[in-house]
């Protein structure tokens, strides 16, 4: 039989063999002064040195590899300037190479200090995982058209036209975690140095001094970073369910009154952080602006994003702009589904309701999360038969953001609310239903939601809406509260007859707003008269019909109201100075 043909060997495999095998056919000897083979022999020597010392620490392995390369003398002479280096190109290249080598040795030294015994593989993993470049010693020309991602320490002594202090989040910047060396040299300076107190501070006082020192260091870093900007500073932070801006962000935001700060720039809310699609959409809209400079800049930005692979930047794939539609939002007989809170928003401002329904809302913050916790406690313990404060602490154990200063303040507010809620539930009427879902049709509007509590006593049924806010409505405003009226209408129309009985509409005796977050000695209670006994019994039904007309026609109206300053879609409102057309 004939032998099977030998499979071809790739150039990568040949190179790998040349680097690691003892005998390599065709490879010139190391002393043959073959310029093509010299780099191969250099790498072979470095790999051999790493293998021989692989059990040593990362710094030692790196040093043996560098020593085996034999490059030190040549790079040193080139960096100092060879006679034939007319324009200094060799010197700059050698300086950059030596700088990179020093960065690598510095990284190995830091790794060894933090993790004694760390090996070469640990160093490789650390370098691969780096997101911010190491400090550099070699001179470098300022690069145009790029963004440098640096730490405040790396930017020391330099200036930029624009500096962005990104993600000033609670717990991240300032980072108040206590840090020290293995032997506590920083702590020792507080106990025995020039700043040492007499008598020596105890453990709690020492931690306070340590935290004070860490805070001072973090603030110095922030001031240093701010001072790097020539003309413009941008601060960014995220406010959401699990994150919130830090106290440093609040302090800088409060500087709006300073004469050297442009208040319009500082106070402008940029809205949600743009993803690639929203950014492309905004740039495409800007193409149609009358200002030719802004339109040209948008086109250039779209071109750059297209080269980077951002979707939606190819004009050949754009749909032609459709004309504005004048068709009604709903047909004359189509039902309109609203929650009680959406009904309230539609009354205040139909345009805001429409845009928020289409997604123009902000994520709930930590305060809303704590409010949800209070409602959950009221649901599982409707009679207040247990201490809700203990139950609250159990819920808070897994909740993020409660160990910061602002988080602890919110927790204290929630604790006060839990105490007032416990006291109120123990003297309240019998809970006949909690978190009771309902759906009821009023003319064309279909109301859908859930009622916090429905209580019963000798006087009849009472709808209860729990509130955790710090401010209670006036008695007059409570009589006009639309959410309470919606809950009453659900009971009046028999939507909860299965839970409350067929006679529930006749037993309806009004509604209450119960505020447990006002910080008073007891819960603040506001009452709403039962709809059938109101001065004008049909007021709510007439209002619902008006809302159905307002939100189903060819146009929706923008109305000024008490929530305009905090509206999530303010930037798209024609009544506001910053409003733009959709």
CA 78 to chain centroid: 49
Burial class (CB within 10 angstroms; exposed 0-12, middle 13-18, buried 19+) of 500: buried
Given the DSSP bridges, would you call strands 160-165 and 336-338 parallel, antiparallel or unpaired? unpaired
What is the reported pTM? 0.47
Give the angle 406-411-416 at the CA atoms, nearest 5°: 130
Burial class (CB within 10 angstroms; exposed 0-12, middle 13-18, buried 19+) of 156: middle
Q: What pLDDT does residue 1 have?
A: 45
Q: What is the pLDDT of residues 127-150, one digit of tens each?
A: 887 755 555 554 454 555 678 888
Collapsing DSSP states into helix, strand and coil, what is residue 197?
coil
Q: How far apart are CA 482 and CA 442, in angstroms?
A: 14
Q: How far apart are CA 554 and CA 331, in angstroms?
A: 10
Q: Quick one: residue 399, left, alpha or beta (phi over 0 = left, psi -120 to 50 = alpha)? A: beta
Q: What pLDDT does residue 514 have?
A: 93
CB atoms inside a 10 Å sphere around CB 378: 26
Q: What pLDDT does residue 104 have?
A: 87
Q: What pLDDT does residue 180 have?
A: 60
Beta-carbon contacts of 151 under 8 Å, excluding residues fewer than 6 positions away, are 132
Q: How far apart are CA 328 and CA 385, in angstroms?
A: 52
What interhelical angle do 340-348 and 482-492 show, nearest 10? 130
Collapsing DSSP states into helix, strand and coil, what is residue 331?
coil
Written as one string, the DSSP assignment of 102-156 is HHHHHHHHHHHHHSTT--HHHHHHHHHH-SSPPP--S--PPPSS------TTTTT
Q: Break the chain into its structural domains and give their ranges.
A: 11-129, 160-266, 276-317, 336-363+428-566
- The 3-state secondary structure of 274-294, one letter per residue: CCHHHHHHHHHHHCCCCCHHH
Given the DSSP bridges, would you call strands 160-165 and 229-235 parallel, antiparallel or unpaired? parallel
Q: Which residues of the chain have pLDDT under 70?
A: 1-9, 32-33, 82-88, 131-145, 179-203, 206, 240-242, 254-275, 319-326, 328, 330-332, 359-367, 398-401, 403, 578-582
- The 3-state secondary structure of 476-515, one letter per residue: HHHHCCHHHHHHHHHHHCCCCHHHHCCCHHHHEEEEEEEE
CA 253 to chain centroid: 18
Fold of 336-363+428-566: Lambda Exonuclease; Chain A (3.90.320)
Please report, for residues 461, 472, 474, the alpha-carbon distance to residue 477 in angstroms, rounded to integers and kept in the order given: 22, 10, 5
What the block records as the tokens of 429 is 């009427």
Q: How far apart are CA 285 and CA 41, in angstroms?
A: 60
CA terminus-to-terminus distance, the chain: 80
Contact, 97 vs 75, CB < 8 A?
yes
What interhelical angle do 340-348 and 539-550 show, nearest 10? 70
Q: How far apart are CA 95 and CA 72, in angstroms?
A: 12
Q: What pLDDT does residue 126 have?
A: 83
Q: What pLDDT does residue 131 have?
A: 59
CB atoms inside a 10 Å sphere around CB 269: 10
Which of the 8 DSSP states describes residue 313? -
Which candidate, 143, 163, 293, 285, places its Cα nearest to that of 227?
163
CB atoms inside a 10 Å sphere around CB 240: 13
Please report, for residues 169, 313, 415, the alpha-carbon distance to residue 518 in angstroms, rounded to integers and kept in the order given: 28, 51, 12
Give backbone dihedrals phi and psi of 38, rounded to 5 degrees, phi first.
Answer: -60, -45
Q: What pLDDT does residue 453 have?
A: 92
Q: What pLDDT does residue 568 have?
A: 81
Q: How far apart are CA 173 and CA 252, in angstroms?
A: 13
Q: What pLDDT does residue 538 have?
A: 92
Top CATH class, 160-266: alpha beta
Burial class (CB within 10 angstroms; exposed 0-12, middle 13-18, buried 19+) of 244: buried
CB atoms inside a 10 Å sphere around CB 313: 21
């Amino acid at each position: 039989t004939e032998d099977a043909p030998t499979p071809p060997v790739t150039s990568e495999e040949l190179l790998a063999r040349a680097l690691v095998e003892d005998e390599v056919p065709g490879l010139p000897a190391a002393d043959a002064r073959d310029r093509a083979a010299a780099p191969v022999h250099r790498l072979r020597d470095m790999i051999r040195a790493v293998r021989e010392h692989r059990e040593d620490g990362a710094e030692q392995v790196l040093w043996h590899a560098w020593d085996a390369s034999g490059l030190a003398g040549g790079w040193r002479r080139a960096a100092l300037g060879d006679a034939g280096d007319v324009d200094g190109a060799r010197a700059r290249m050698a300086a950059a190479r030596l700088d990179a080598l020093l960065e690598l040795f510095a990284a190995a030294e830091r790794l060894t200090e933090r993790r004694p015994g760390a090996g070469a593989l640990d160093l490789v993993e650390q370098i691969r995982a780096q997101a911010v470049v190491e400090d550099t010693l070699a001179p470098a020309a300022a690069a145009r058209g790029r963004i440098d991602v640096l730490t405040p320490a790396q930017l020391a002594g330099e200036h930029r036209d624009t500096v962005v202090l990104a993600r000033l989040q609670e717990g991240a910047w300032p980072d108040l975690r206590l840090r020290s060396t293995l032997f506590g040299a920083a702590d020792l300076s507080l106990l025995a140095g020039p700043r040492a107190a007499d008598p020596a501070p105890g453990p709690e006082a020492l931690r306070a001094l340590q935290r004070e020192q860490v805070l001072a260091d973090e603030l110095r870093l922030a001031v240093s970073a701010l001072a790097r900007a020539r003309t413009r500073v941008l601060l960014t932070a995220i406010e959401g369910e699990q994150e919130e801006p830090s106290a440093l962000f609040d302090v800088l935001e409060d500087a709006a009154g300073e004469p050297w700060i442009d208040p319009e720039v500082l106070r402008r809310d940029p809205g949600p952080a743009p993803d690639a699609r929203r950014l492309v959409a905004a740039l495409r809209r800007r193409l149609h602006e009358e200002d030719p400079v802004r339109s040209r800049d948008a086109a250039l930005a779209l071109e750059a994003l297209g080269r980077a692979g951002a979707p939606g930047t190819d004009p050949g794939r754009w749909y032609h702009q459709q004309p504005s539609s004048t068709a009604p939002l709903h047909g004359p007989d189509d039902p309109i589904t609203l929650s009680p809170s959406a009904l309230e928003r539609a009354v205040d401002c139909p345009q805001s309701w429409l845009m928020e329904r289409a997604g123009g809302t902000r994520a709930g913050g930590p305060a809303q999360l704590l409010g949800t916790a209070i409602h959950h406690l009221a649901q599982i313990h409707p009679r207040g038969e247990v201490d809700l404060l203990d139950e609250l602490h159990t819920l808070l154990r897994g909740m993020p953001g409660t160990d910061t200063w602002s988080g602890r303040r919110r927790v204290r507010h929630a604790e006060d609310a839990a105490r007032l809620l416990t006291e109120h539930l123990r003297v309240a009427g019998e809970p006949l239903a909690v978190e009771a879902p309902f759906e009821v049709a009023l003319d064309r509007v279909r109301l859908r939601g859930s009622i916090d509590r429905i209580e019963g006593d000798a006087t009849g049924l009472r709808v209860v809406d729990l509130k955790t806010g710090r401010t209670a409505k006036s008695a007059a405003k409570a009589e006009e509260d639309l959410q309470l009226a919606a809950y009453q209408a659900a009971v009046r129309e028999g939507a909860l007859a299965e839970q409350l009985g067929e006679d529930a509409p006749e037993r309806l005796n009004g509604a209450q707003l119960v505020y447990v977050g006002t910080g008073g000695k007891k819960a603040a209670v506001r009452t709403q008269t039962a709809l059938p006994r109101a001065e004008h019994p049909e007021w709510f039904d007439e209002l619902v019909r008006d809302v159905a007309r307002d939100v189903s026609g060819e146009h929706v109206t923008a109305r000024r109201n008490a929530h305009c300053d905090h509206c999530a879609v303010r930037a798209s409102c024609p009544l506001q100075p910053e409003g733009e057309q959709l």
